[in-house]
């Protein structure tokens, strides 16, 4: 069997070996629902779309995804299994990619379980389902980017708490870079080109673009590149820190 | 064959492994001896392909661990220090995972898994999470993983550490049973193990290879090599008898069990003269034996000068 598939399967199964996975999914679903209905004024706004639902995803992911990602490599290093894994006939890239993919699939499962809200909005009105599909895709891509960042920082330490906090901070900065508040601040003293570049770096900008229902190749490339770059960094960090 | 040439690992200014070269042929069991922090594990990690050497090279069955890492890893079974494994898995699912990564399929996969389960007596714990197993079972799961694909070369980092005497005996039996057709390198700081399993021993301290020979040759370096020890009913009379033997260099008496050890002058045999002297004097002895040498003493003599160079 392909080594990526083997490690992917083991990893994904390991999430469900403890109650943590179920707790995570329940918290994710409750928060996603509560935020949408109470703070997103899902009913009150009287429009049949899922904008309030997806609008909260960056903030939900900001705390929940690093919690998934923190164990990726920190745990392997702490328990010493990293030595076992990397001395089996598998390349570093395969290992990094397989573990990332398993974590991504896990978040994907949690995201897929929000389907009742999709059914609800279709029951209540006549939403543009194309936009909703695009939003789900954008949400999944954003989670992937968060996970890749978390994977790299998890490789940098054997302490999961440190990995968690660092990931939250970096993801927060990358989100905030796209907010009008932050961009307005930069606009006051930087040329427009630089401000656009900062906005272009932001996960938030690209997520917003996709969740409007426009799947632009540039946004897809942005996410693909972000994920690839952070996974590449993960492999480098693992190589550097192996000896500790 | 496992071969290293000038294998070196530096961490900044600190040299953990300093130009180690050796060769192990099939049928040999090489014991790595050395104090803690001597560089044993680092050397093994480099051969296993986990750490990249700073200089020099290592080959497993002809495959260079840096330029052909996958082939080298396929040829090698490796038990890392502490026998790590995924705690939430059961021994069965863990072994299946390793079998899949090792590319074992179909009938052979099943047969190999059954074989190692039988050899390491894991039947009783197959369905328990590894986290809940005793230290001995965890170590056996680690060993099972290492020999699962029946590799031509094996590297076992402290395979018997933390096992009770019975388990140690079993693991040594396992290693001996495999030793005929495999290349085996084990590290240990238990000296009796060297006798029990190794055909060859190297001593490493401060990252350098200080001795490379058979256990018997190492013992011959001991000043106790050829010494005679005895326990006499009357210690005083025995001492008087020994005083008449010319080739004795010195005499030591153990304050606890009054065992007398007579150390010969270099290159002299004293067993026969001593037994005759005792007989002539009519000294009654309950034990009388010829010593081959003491490995622990050789080990200390060789490694002590390097003890201060250890890791900060």
- What's the pLDDT tens digit per position in A101-152? 999 999 999 999 999 888 888 888 888 888 899 999 999 999 999 999 999 9
Same domain as B251, residue B118: no
Environment class of B147 (CB within 10 Å of its CB; exposed 0-12, middle 13-18, buried 19+): buried
Same domain as B144, residue B126: yes
The per-residue pLDDT for range B8-36, each reduced to its tens digit, is 999 888 899 999 999 999 999 999 988 88
Share of chain A above pLDDT 90, in %: 51
Range among A83-87, B118-122, B243-247, B272-276 with highest mean pLDDT value: A83-87
The pLDDT of residue B312: 38
Strands B76-79 and B55-60: unpaired
Cross-chain residue pair A86–B50, CB shorter than 8 Å: yes
Residue B146 pLDDT > 50: yes
Name every chain B residue with its beta carbon within 8 A of the beta carbon of A77. Answer: none
Same domain as B6, residue B108: yes
HSE at residue B223, side-chain half, CA atoms within 13 A, is 13
Give Dmax (Cα) for chain B.
74
Q: Does B84 touch chain A (CB under 8 A)?
A: yes
CA distance B83 to chain A (A): 8
Q: A90: nearest CA in chain B?
A: B70
* Confidence class for position B54, pLDDT limits 50, 70, 90: very high
Q: Which residues of A touch B (CB under 8 A)?
A: 1, 3, 6-7, 10, 13-14, 17-18, 79-81, 83-84, 86-91, 239, 242-243
Q: Which of B70, B87, B98 sits opposite A91 (nearest CB)?
A: B70
Q: Does B127 touch chain A (CB under 8 A)?
A: no
| Residue B87 lies inside a defined structural domain of this protein | yes
Residue A8 pLDDT > 90: yes
Name every chain A residue with its beta carbon within 8 A of the beta carbon of B11. Answer: 243
| Residue B304 lies inside a defined structural domain of this protein | no
Q: Between residues B284 and A48, which one has the greater pLDDT?
A: B284
| Residue B297 lies inside a defined structural domain of this protein | no
Same domain as B104, residue B7: yes
Name every chain A residue with its beta carbon within 8 A of the beta carbon of B45. Answer: 83
Tokens of B265: 């002058």
Average pLDDT, chain B: 88
Residue B310 pLDDT > 50: no
Task: Report, as an integer, the average pLDDT of B133-143.
Answer: 91
Q: A244: nearest CA in chain B?
A: B11
Residue B200 pLDDT > 80: yes
Same domain as B142, residue B23: yes
The per-residue pLDDT for range B65-77, each reduced to its tens digit, is 999 999 999 999 9
The pLDDT of residue A50: 81
The pLDDT of residue B102: 94
Please identify, among B220, B254, B275, the residue that sits at the C-terminal boundary of a domain. B220
Strands of B228-232's sheet, edge to edge?
B248-253, B260-264, B228-232, B285-290
Q: Does B182 touch chain A (CB under 8 A)?
A: no
Name every chain B residue with its beta carbon within 8 A of the beta carbon of A80. Answer: 80-82, 84
Residue B55 pLDDT > 90: yes
Residue with tokens 């499962």: A109
Domains of chain B: total: 2
The pLDDT of residue A33: 86
CA distance A98 to chain B (A): 12
Cross-chain residue pair B105–A242, CB shorter than 8 Å: no
| Residue B303 lies inside a defined structural domain of this protein | no
The pLDDT of residue A196: 82
The pLDDT of residue B311: 44
Same domain as B201, residue B94: yes
Q: Between residues B143 and A192, which one has the greater pLDDT?
A: B143
The pLDDT of residue B30: 93
Please identify, among B167, B197, B220, the residue that sits at the C-terminal boundary of a domain. B220
CA distance A2 to chain B (A): 8
Same domain as B175, residue B68: yes
Residue A48 pLDDT > 80: no
The pLDDT of residue A197: 81
A198-202 contacts at long range (C-beta below 8 A, 24 or more positions apart): A201/A174, A201/A177, A202/A174, A202/A175, A202/A176, A202/A177, A202/A178
Q: B94: nearest CA in chain A?
A: A10
Q: Which of B78-92, B104-118, B289-303 has the lowest mean pLDDT?
A: B289-303
The per-residue pLDDT for range B150-170, each reduced to its tens digit, is 999 999 999 988 788 888 888
| Residue B312 lies inside a defined structural domain of this protein | no
Cross-chain residue pair A84–B45, CB shorter than 8 Å: no
Look up the CATH number of the domain holding residue B132: 3.40.50.300
The pLDDT of residue B196: 83
The residue extents of the domains of chain A are 3-241
Residue B308 pLDDT > 60: no
The pLDDT of residue B37: 83
CA distance B39 to chain A (A): 12
| Residue B309 lies inside a defined structural domain of this protein | no
Q: Which of A84, A88, A89 sits opposite B85 (nearest CB)?
A: A84
| Residue B240 lies inside a defined structural domain of this protein | yes
Same domain as B237, residue B205: no
Look up the CATH number of the domain holding residue B236: 3.30.70.100
| Residue B300 lies inside a defined structural domain of this protein | no
CA distance B27 to chain A (A): 23
Residue B108 pLDDT > 90: yes
Strands B153-157 and B200-205: unpaired
Residue B176 pLDDT > 60: yes
The pLDDT of residue A1: 61
Tokens of B152: 């031509």
Report the C-alpha gap between A89 and B101 in whole angstroms: 7
The pLDDT of residue B307: 57
Is the overall model pTM greater than 0.95, yes or no? no
Preferred mutation among A89, A92, A102 to probe B, highest tally of B CBs within 10 A: A89
The pLDDT of residue A157: 87
The pLDDT of residue B23: 93
Cross-chain residue pair A79–B105, CB shorter than 8 Å: no
The per-residue pLDDT for range A143-165, each reduced to its tens digit, is 999 999 999 999 998 889 999 99
Cross-chain residue pair A87–B88, CB shorter than 8 Å: no
Task: Report, as an integer, the average pLDDT of B184-199.
Answer: 87
Environment class of A38 (CB within 10 Å of its CB; exposed 0-12, middle 13-18, buried 19+): exposed
Report the C-alpha gap between A37 and B249 in whole angstroms: 94
Domain span at residue B178 reads: 2-220
Cross-chain residue pair B80–A88, CB shorter than 8 Å: no
Residue A37 pLDDT > 90: no
Q: Which of A3, A7, A87 sits opposite B48 (nearest CB)?
A: A87
Tokens of B11: 């961490």
The pLDDT of residue A244: 67
> Which region, left, alpha or beta, applies to residue A105 given φ > 0 means left and ψ of -120 to 50 means alpha?
alpha
DSSP for B175-239, written as a single string: HHHHTTTSEEEEEES-HHHHHHH-SEEEEEETTEEEEEE-HHHHHHTSTTTT-EEEEESSHHHHH
Same domain as B237, residue B160: no
Q: Does B88 touch chain A (CB under 8 A)?
A: yes
DSSP for A132-161, written as a single string: HHHHHHHHHHHHHHHHHHHHHHHHT-S-HH
Preferred mutation among B12, B17, B47, B100 to probe A, highest tally of A CBs within 10 A: B100
Same domain as B131, residue B45: yes
């Amino acid at each position: 069997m392909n080594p990526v598939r083997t490690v992917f399967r083991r990893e994904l199964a390991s999430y469900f070996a403890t109650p943590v996975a179920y707790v995570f999914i329940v918290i994710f679903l409750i928060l996603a629902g509560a935020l949408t209905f109470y703070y997103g004024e899902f009913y009150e706004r009287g429009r049949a779309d899922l904008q309030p639902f997806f609008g909260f995803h960056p903030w939900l992911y900001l705390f929940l995804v690093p919690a998934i990602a923190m164990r990726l490599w920190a745990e392997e290093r702490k328990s010493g299994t990293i030595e076992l894994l990397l001395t089996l006939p598998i390349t570093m890239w395969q290992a990094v990619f397989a573990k990332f993919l398993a974590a991504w699939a896990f978040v994907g499962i949690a995201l897929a379980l929000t389907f009742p809200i999709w059914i609800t909005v279709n029951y209540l009105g006549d939403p543009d389902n194309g936009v909703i599909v695009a939003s789900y895709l954008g949400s999944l891509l954003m989670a992937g980017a968060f996970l890749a960042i978390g994977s790299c920082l998890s490789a940098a330490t054997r302490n999961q708490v440190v990995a968690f906090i660092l990931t939250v901070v970096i993801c927060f900065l990358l989100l905030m870079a796209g907010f009008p508040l932050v961009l307005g601040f930069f606009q006051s003293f930087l040329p427009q080109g630089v401000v656009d570049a900062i906005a272009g770096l932001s996960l938030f900008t690209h997520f917003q673009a996709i969740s409007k229902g426009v799947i632009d190749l540039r946004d897809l490339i942005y996410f693909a590149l972000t994920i690839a770059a952070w996974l590449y960094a993960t492999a480098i960090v693992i190589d550097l820190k192996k000896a500790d | 064959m496992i071969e290293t040439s000038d294998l070196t690992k530096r961490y900044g200014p600190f040299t953990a492994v300093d130009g180690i070269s050796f060769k192990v042929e099939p049928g040999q069991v090489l014991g790595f001896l050395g104090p803690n922090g001597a560089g044993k594990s680092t050397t093994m990690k480099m051969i296993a392909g986990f750490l990249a050497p700073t200089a020099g090279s290592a080959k497993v069955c002809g495959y260079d661990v840096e330029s052909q890492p996958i082939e080298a890893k396929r040829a090698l079974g490796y038990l890392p220090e502490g026998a790590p494994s995924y705690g939430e898995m059961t021994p069965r699912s863990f072994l299946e995972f390793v079998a899949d990564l090792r590319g074992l399929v179909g009938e052979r996969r099943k047969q190999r898994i059954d074989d190692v389960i039988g050899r390491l007596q894991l039947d009783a714990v197959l369905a328990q999470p590894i986290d809940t197993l005793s230290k001995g079972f965890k170590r056996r799961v680690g060993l099972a993983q290492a020999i699962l694909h029946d590799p031509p070369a094996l590297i076992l980092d402290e395979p018997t550490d933390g096992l009770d005497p019975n388990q140690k005996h079993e693991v040594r039996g396992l290693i001996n049973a495999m030793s005929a057709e495999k290349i085996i390198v084990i590290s240990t700081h238990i000296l009796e193990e060297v006798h029990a399993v190794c055909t060859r021993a190297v001593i490493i301290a401060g990252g350098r290879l200080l001795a490379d020979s058979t256990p018997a040759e190492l013992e011959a370096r001991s000043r106790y090599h050829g010494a005679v020890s005895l326990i006499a009913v009357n210690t005083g009379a025995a001492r008087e008898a020994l005083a008449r033997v010319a080739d004795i260099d010195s005499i030591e008496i153990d304050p606890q069990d009054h065992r007398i050890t007579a150390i010969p002058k270099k290159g002299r045999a004293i067993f026969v003269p001593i037994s005759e002297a005792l007989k002539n004097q009519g000294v009654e002895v309950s034990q009388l034996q010829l010593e081959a040498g003491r490995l622990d003493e050789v080990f200390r003599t060789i490694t002590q000068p390097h003890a201060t160079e250890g890791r900060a």
